[in-house]
């Protein structure tokens, strides 16, 4: 079976409104370089890549969280 002619034309048409909406979303997305940042752990000095605001590596962050609970 062949695809519907209108459907095939719509997916290839670069001016289709649905395609423009997707392009706009992709253009508004953050670049990958903003997602990760390199930090040096304030406790052990390890250098790690993280995707949130913290001053500790994953191991030391767990240690500090346990100390605060006690």
42-69 pLDDT, tens digit each: 999 999 999 888 999 989 988 887 777 7
Residue 12 has pLDDT above 60, yes or no: no
In angstroms, rounded to a whole number, what is the distance separating the alpha carbons of residues 36 and 59?
Answer: 18
State whether 39 and 64 are in the same domain. Answer: yes
Q: What range defines the domain where residue 5 resides? A: 1-30
Cβ-count burial 13-44 (b if 16+ within 10 Å, e if not): eeeeeeeeeeeeeeeeeeeeeeeeeebebeee
**Based on the structure, what is the number of domains in the chain?**
2
State whether 63 and 36 are in the same domain. Answer: yes
Note the pLDDT of residue 56: 92
In angstroms, rounded to a whole number, what is the distance separating the alpha carbons of residues 41 and 56?
Answer: 4
Is the full-model pTM beyond 0.85? Answer: no
Helix (H) or strand (E) holding 58: helix 58-69
State whether 26 and 41 are in the same domain. Answer: no
């Amino acid at each position: 079976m062949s695809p519907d002619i209108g459907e095939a034309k719509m997916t290839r048409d670069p001016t289709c409104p649905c395609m423009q909406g997707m392009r706009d979303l992709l253009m508004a997305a953050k670049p990958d370089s903003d997602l990760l940042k390199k930090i040096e752990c304030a406790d052990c000095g390890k250098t790690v890549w993280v995707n949130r605001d913290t001053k500790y590596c994953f191991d030391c962050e767990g240690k500090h969280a346990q100390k605060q609970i006690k």
